[in-house]
Structure 1
């Protein structure tokens, strides 16, 4: 089949998120100037720079994570392990601002070192971030979309030593959780390696 997204797909459910998958989950923690905590998962999340290390998450509409990150200039991106998947899903609840999803999902907090928002204590890894840019992507006709993209430079990285093996982060043990389409998720349980080819050397 072929379809133009602007004209519809004719399927029971939109396949776009299933096609662009798996997507890592950015479990974003923030704290506003009144000390109110927020924790929410974002499947529009990824890294797009190594030096400096920059990650971003995209909020479809003005939600608390993007609002607070804009106000304070800080956020933490926590890694979702397979063991934390159910609790991560609980934090997706549409709670009113001021309700702590940490408490709602029975999650322990751990202090960050360089930013104010706490991190998820049980997370195998967490990235302390300072906001570098916030923007709204534009459509072909030039109009702003409802998406709000928050980019942040990673200023601190926490790794639980239990997930380090021979100096490498053990992704399989952590079971990194990714978002698929529809109501589906995936967990890493197998890896394979391939070396990038070099011109003239293969």
Structure 2
């Protein structure tokens, strides 16, 4: 048996909870921005992804117009920080609804690190940061989509395996449903199958790699 779950405008919050329980896991963008009054804001957003490769553009969604969106609209700059497992409690704490004149860096006890290309600071404790310039803000229903072009990236050498970060060193956090969070857990590796090696490709006798 299957149960129908139908989105209803009068009960949109319930369907939001349903969506966030099935669209999992979701990577977390730790967005730092600076207000026109000079207050550094830091907040986690779990509606986050890569939107373009060339130019490199990342995107996050704010449910409601929060301090991050207002700051980015005004200054056109922000930083995406990476959220590792060992900063679990700090990441969660920066989601607290502090007033706009309170910096989450100070309230939570995180360290500012100057960015190379934008005014908002990076989180020193975070192993990866993407410095971004606003590309586009798009309102969609009760949400605001923010697209930022990556101008500069930094990565801690401790998490590198050659030129790329290693997943077992990064140990990324993700959001799940309800108040649940996830970690990388078991990591499986598999190569994509080239079409010319697909069994029976064009009637041939090619075998699986």
Task: Give the TM-score normalised by structure 2.
Answer: 0.88
**Residue 184 (structure 1) aligns with:** 180
Runs of 4+ in 1 over 2 A off after TM superposition: 6-9
1:57 matched to 2:53? The reply is no
CA deviation vs aligned residue, 1:74-101 (integer Å, no higher than 9, x gap): 0000000001110011111101001000
Task: State the alpha-carbon separation in 1 of the partners of residues 112 and 197 from structure 2.
Answer: 49
Corresponding residue of 1:3: 5
Please say which of residues 188-197 and 79-88 is displaced more in the overlay: 188-197
Could you tell me how far 1:148 is from its partner in structure 2?
Answer: 0.6
Total equivalences in the alignment: 194
1:129 aligns with 2:132: yes
Higher relative contact order (CA 8 A, sep 6+): 1
- Structure 2 residue 85 is the aligned partner of structure 1 residue 82: yes
Residue 119 of structure 1 corresponds to 122
Is residue 2:31 matched to residue 1:28? Answer: yes
1:93 aligns with 2:96: yes
- Structure 2: segments with no counterpart, 5+ residues: 199-209
CA distance in 2, matches of 1:146, 1:197: 41
- 1:166 is the counterpart of 2:123: no
Higher helix share: 2
- Higher gyration radius (CA): 2
Distance 2:70 2:193 in 1: 43
Deviation for aligned residue 1:15: 2.3
Larger CA deviation: 186-195 vs 78-87: 186-195
State the Cα distance separating 1:114 from its structure 2 match. 0.4
Query: CA–CA distance in 1 between the matches of 2:125 and 2:17?
Result: 34
In structure 1, how many angstroms separate the alpha carbons of the residues matched to 2:127 and 2:185?
15
- Alpha-carbon distance, 1:173 to partner: 1.8
Please report the TM-score for the alignment, with normalisation by the length of structure 1. 0.90
Cα deviations by residue, 1:153-187 (Å, 9 ceiling, x for unpaired): 11111101100023320122221000001000001
